[in-house]
Structure 1
Amino acid sequence: MRDDAKRPEAEHEPVTGEHDARPGTRRRRPGRLTACLCLLATLLLVLPGLVPDSPGHLGSLLETFLPWLGLAVPAALVAALLRRSRLAAAAALLPAAVWAALFGAALFAGDGAEEGGLLVVQHNVSDVNPDPAATARALARTGADLIALEELTAPALPAYEAALSAGLPHHATVGTVGLWSKHPLVGVRPVDIRPEDVGEGWNRGLRATARTPEGEVAVYVAHLPSVRIGPAGFASGLRDESAVLLARALSSEPLDRVILVGDLNSTLDDRGLAPVTSLMTGPASSFAFSWPAAFPLARIDQVLARSAQVTDIRTLPATTSDHLPVAARVRLRGRGGGAHVHL
């Protein structure tokens, strides 16, 4: 009998993959790729600025949807389960911990029941809204002190004036943006945030002084240009240019206390909005995703303040617009009469 016939049957079985112990053969470690992807997700969460903005404004795109990187965690855990990899499961804990540190508080943000300060509502009402009267009635029921609207059209404007005038008798409009207030508005004027390559007649910024019981506060309403995601990347150049112009207007505002309300077509993490967010502050933590209304992915409708505090922000029930309304509480500080040092 040949010698190899006496060998155990197992010795004749081919050895492949992670069990291959032949000399010179690299042992596979299941989950190594998943672990590397977890490390990459963690790095992007902590340092999204490492992603360059050129070409295609990829950095801004990442920052706009930064919280959604958290989906890497359940994906890694599923992969770890399928591959039975302890390495992948352990690696998933790293982005999970970082995500929780960055965004965990937003999961437990207030329910909007907080009282005090000004109740400010922001809503892009859509220039193709099929039922502006219904949207206007929904906004009137919020009991807001200030309501800022964008994409107002001439045919729809009377519906908003009719529905909002009882509770908010003071209002001003410039181009396609408007402001309704319980308190008197003075010093109303346009704010030029039109990018250089945009034609005449594009008016999407206004400024007014609201005379509240706690003193005067400057209120800005702005609608920055839209962005597009296409084959060339994230087209945000016009929005970024408009943000610089808005920041210049805010830095020149003589009143200390300022509230900025509007559709900024940007999240507060997006570097494209940095000229504005360097001057203003938003809520401490809250998702309140407002767009698109059918499946909200990001909050691009903002309420920001200077020498005041945005203590709470939340979304309101859907209207017939493609955005959700957002409501915020703003606590004013001091009397607001001092001049601001221009930047």
Structure 2
Amino acid sequence: MGQVLFATGVLSPNFKNPLTRTHITIEGFEKLPTDRPVIFAMNHTDRYNYWPFQWRLWRDHRMFTTTWVKGKYYNNPAIQAFMIKMNNLAVPSRGYLITADAVQLLGRPPAERAYRIVRQAVDAGSTDTRTLRERAAEEGVLADVVALLDTPRDLLGLNFDPQTHNYLERMSELFKQMMNRFVELNEEAFALGLHVLVFPEGTRSIRLQEGRTGLAQMALRMKATVVPIGCNGSDLAYPGNSPLSSGGTIVYRMGEPLSPEGALKPFAIEDDYTPFTLEAERAHAEKFRGMTDLVMDRINELLDERHQRQEGAEGKVKGANRFI
């Protein structure tokens, strides 16, 4: 209902306004499977480039989607309410959990060097807090790290007692529990007949960048069909932060579906696993990377030259500040 109200009350008037008329085309729609929900994999050129696509799916075919979005958008209560009403799913990430916990504890993000060494330890699956303290002292950020390691608290819904818990182990357990719930929510979306929309780059860029493996991990876990989408021209309609299109032409090209029994068969994983976890990434890294590269190649083929990947394209924003 939230998507319908937003489409009729905001998007339709905006797209049809004679002063800002926006022409939206979906090429290759006939390729979309009709017997199952799919995961759409789309390049991410601007803040709002999925809205015109969702609008055409709803207007012409009464189809609905749920979109993966970053957890930081749920920090603001008003934006959080909007995200929930729009059927979006917040993607857990280790970096976001570290930063959100620090903000809750310290009232601010951790110092950049503190974030970096804690993130490296969590990413590596380390449980060595002694070495972590030593590195923090060397980097001059001991106070932030000690607060994270030694303060009893509610760790974003998981009890943390430094007398009985190791911070690094507890953070890994929190991430695993959140990711298990994230898998359940994606499965619930499919059960409701919702398509899932994912931006495998993980960030916005006019030109296509290297894909992250999260999409592959989820698709292979769910045995889902992936449909590549090339979005062209949306950045010109949405050049800034305004959610209103300034007009123009947006063309979405739908590629051939990549099904578990077809193009994705070489990457099939029979073992049960939790996506995004260190265990899964270590055990199946080659298949995750291979499928991701295949999806990104297919997206690239659907893009105008100005959106296709190029050596030296925009870099990704790094550090704790990207989570707030």
Structure in which a larger fraction of residues adopt helix? 2
Question: Would you say same fold, with TM above 0.5?
Answer: no
Please give the TM-score of this superposition, normalised by the length of structure 1.
0.26
Structure number with the bigger relative contact order (C-alpha 8 A, sep ≥ 6) is 2
